[in-house]
Amino acid sequence: MKLGAILFKQHIGKHFKKHWLVQGKKKILKTNAEQVLTKSGITIVKPEDVLEKTKIEKVEVVGMRPLRIKEDESHPNWHDKVLYTYKDDNVLLEGLHQAQILTKSVRIAEGLPTKYVTNSLTKEINSKVRNIILSAHVFDAEQQKLPKIKDPSRPAWNFPREYGITHERRNKLMTSKLLNLLETREEHDIVRNRFLLNDMYFSFPFTKDDNLIQFQITGDTLLVSQKPLPPVTDESTEEYQLPNLHPIHFTASLNEENIYELENIYPLRKGIKPLHPHTLFIHHDRTMVKNLFEEEVADNQIHGRSLLKTFTVAASYAKQQFGDDVGDLPSPVTVQSVQTDGRLFQFGVLQMNTLNLEDGEKKNIWYQTEQLPLFQVCKYDAGKPVLKGYNDEVVKNLISFYNQC
């Protein structure tokens, strides 16, 4: 085959790169300039002998972002002792049993206490709740890119991205609209003693078996009242035993940190009237709350998350009220909690009797329900909004919680 002229052409891009590479390695050639100058009687000196070294001072410019502090031993908050932390996106390896050991809490009965009585609902209330579900899950105008869809049986399959209402938006709408419905149907004397606070930060540090632990959580919605909730029961807890996790340690799956500050934070200032925690609403987003080992979050782990968050609110409040050195509380602290992902609701009640989490026979008491579905299906089907499997037990429990005083 005869070679044509086209085969002899150079690729201009490759040619330029090759030329740049060759020129970059070119060495400086020695010249006779030094010898010529020396013969002419001109003294040759090094630049360092003539020029003075000047120290460049750093100028602080207003508005510039400061340099990031390195997260090592040079950090001002570095400690050699490891701190185990629990935060919003954590779940415990052993779920509720591990949370019971960390908080020294026992369960003396299944479900909620007997004083929590639920009554039947009217058709008007059920109709309004159905409208709330549809408005939060279907009718809201938010259109955001939703998290990727994953199928464990096909991990490499790329599903088309969907747009719609985010989990955070749905959870906030469900909580706020249901609470608004309760406020409109309850007596004025009850409603005026309740106050709603959003995105409150709580922190509670403690030591357990020479392990330094700190719970740092966010209360998505906190219902506070002018009077504290009364104790649920006066039954002794000495005969009840905590679960046994052997050989697993109770700090398993907690975050380990060396850079930290120990601080007890209850965000409401002592002395104001709407101070006492009444009910904590916890939002659960399965795309944000994950296991360390990329496994699906189990129901038992969700229950443990509810207990730890409720305990953090109650403990930080008790420490503010009774002092930093308090052990067994002078009077029990009772806090209710509702955890939801927008469809499933889990109710819990914590009666805190002690902050002495290492010694002593007195223990805290935890009541809880299983996850109750408010509905089964809420979506568009053939262009029409569809709601199936509505369960009014969830609304009954919410009303019972709200009426506690």
- pLDDT for residue 6: 60
Cβ-Cβ contacts under 8 Å for 242 (sequence gap 6 or more): 100, 101, 104, 106, 363
Residue among 337, 362, 339 at smallest CA distance from 349: 337
Express each pLDDT in 227-270 by its tens digit: 899 999 988 888 888 999 888 999 998 999 999 999 999 998 88
- From residue 160, alpha-carbon distances to 147, 152, 239 in Å are 11, 16, 56
pTM over 0.75: yes
Residue among 105, 112, 363 at smallest CA distance from 243: 105
User: Running along the chain, 405 residues long, what does each successive block of 10 average in pLDDT?
Assistant: 60 86 81 85 82 78 75 86 91 92 91 87 92 93 89 88 91 93 85 89 92 92 92 88 90 91 90 87 88 83 93 93 88 94 94 89 92 92 91 93 88
Express each pLDDT in 318-367 by its tens digit: 999 888 888 889 999 999 999 999 999 999 999 999 999 888 889 999 99
Q: By the 8 A CB rule, do 143 and 164 touch?
A: yes
Q: Distance between CA atoms of 374 and 133, rounded to whole angstroms?
A: 9
- pLDDT for residue 186: 79
